[in-house]
Amino acid sequence: MMILRPREACKRLGIGKSQFYARFVYREGGETFVAGTKAVPRLKPVPVSERVSGFIDVEVDAVIMAIREERDSGLLTKNKPRDEGGRFIGKDAA
């Protein structure tokens, strides 16, 4: 078990720092689950010093696996189909 710096945790999830803090990090009094999921808990920062916090690598991996399980079970919202130009396909397309 290791404590990851925020940048390393972001890289594991494949997103940037702003999106990481907005969607995946728990804040006191905020949402308890990752945005867009039904039951994946947000990551709680681990204080390393007065100014530095990190995230436990096992918990980051658990979040990734839980999102994968929700995706495979069909609980996550699916993207609308698009054509080669990136436009939505369907009756809403103009």
In whole angstroms, give the CA distance from residue 40 to residue 61.
12
- Residues 14-49 have pLDDT tens digits of 999 999 999 999 999 989 999 888 889 999 999 999
Greatest Cα-to-Cα distance within the chain, rounded to the nearest angstrom: 54
Question: In 30-81, where do the E strands start and end?
Answer: 46-47, 53-56
Predicted TM-score (pTM) of this structure = 0.74
In whole angstroms, give the CA distance from residue 43 to residue 40.
9
| pLDDT on residue 80 | 65
In whole angstroms, give the CA distance from residue 93 to residue 80.
11
Q: Token digits for 80?
A: 């609308």
Beta-bridged to residue 82, according to DSSP, are: 88
